[in-house]
Chains A and B, each alone.
Chain A
């Protein structure tokens, strides 16, 4: 039934977000929200179709963003993840990373890997932002 379908789509979304390796706590937050939503849908059937549609939309959107990130991640050579990331970006997250990315000025002789690592950092931030926005919307519905 719809509850079982929602359970499966929730687990799939959590698994995808987990495998993306986003900021600590993201998967836990999403998992708690979806579990809460599942119980609310069990009590009030007006929730289940709305939530299930949202979960499917989130999964579809996230699939696209994650694929784009994976496509970039395989390009740097040799494979030393993050080793070519400019020092001004290391350890930054969220708004700080966004501002540093926008302000970033690379030297004209920057290597291919540096550009690829910067592109990957921007894509990974877009992935985190996408998940965060979807979590924000779920929170407004569930709580």
Chain B
């Protein structure tokens, strides 16, 4: 349903943000 779909979209976006900032943290 709509709640579950929205949840998975946000979770994917949050996972991508975590990955991005962990990568940046290792570069500085």
Contact = CB atoms under 8 A, between A and B. Distances in A.
Interface of A: 68, 72, 75, 98, 101-102, 106, 110-112, 115-116, 118-119, 122-123, 125-126, 129-130, 133, 136
Nearest to B23: A115
Contacts of B18: 68, 72, 119, 122-123, 126
Main secondary structure on chain A at its contact with chain B? Answer: helix
Contacts of B28: 110-112, 115
A123 B25 contact: no
Interface of B: 3-4, 7, 10-11, 13-15, 17-18, 21-22, 24-26, 28
Task: Please classify the interface of chain B as helix (H, G, I), strand (E, B), loop, or mixed, using the class held by over half of its residues.
Answer: helix
A122 B25 contact: no
Contacts of B3: 133, 136
A133 B14 contact: no
Contact of B22 (A72, A106, A110, A133): A72
A75 B25 contact: yes
Contacts of A115: 21-22, 24-25, 28
Contacts of B15: 126
In the complex, which of the residues A75, A98, A115 has the most CB atoms of chain B within 10 Å of its own CB atom?
A115
Contact of B14 (A75, A110, A122, A136): A122
Return the 10 tightest CB-CB contacts between A and B, nearest first. Answer: A115-B25, A119-B21, A115-B21, A122-B17, A126-B14, A115-B24, A118-B21, A133-B7, A122-B14, A119-B18
